[in-house]
Amino acid sequence: MSKFTVHQGKRYRAIIMLSWWEQIATNEKIAKMLREVGFTEVGVSGDGHMREAGALWPLQDTTAEIPPQVHSVQEIEV
């Protein structure tokens, strides 16, 4: 797995690719998981295999491994 650093006060967009079994997750379930690790203002769209999530990182800068379901993540302008 690769690592990514999120920076305090920055917004991020991620493309999430789910396995056959994971596709049953609702967008709200995915949003809840993102909130549980510290993101706020979370929005998730899409259905089935591919979802797009956007969120704000309000905490201190943090580096962590990117889960295998996250195929791309990028900082976006506010």
Quote the pLDDT of residue 45. 98
Q: Average of pLDDT values for 48-59?
A: 97
Domain count, the chain: 1
Tell me which of 11-15, 43-47, 67-71, 74-78 is least confident. Answer: 74-78
50 confidence band (pLDDT: 50, 70, 90):
very high
Separation of alpha carbons 31 and 33, rounded Å:
5
| E strands present in 9-65 | 10-17, 40-47, 50-57, 62-65
Structural domain of 71: 3-76
Quote the pLDDT of residue 3. 92
> Can you give the pTM of this predicted structure?
0.89
Q: Average of pLDDT values for 47-73?
A: 95
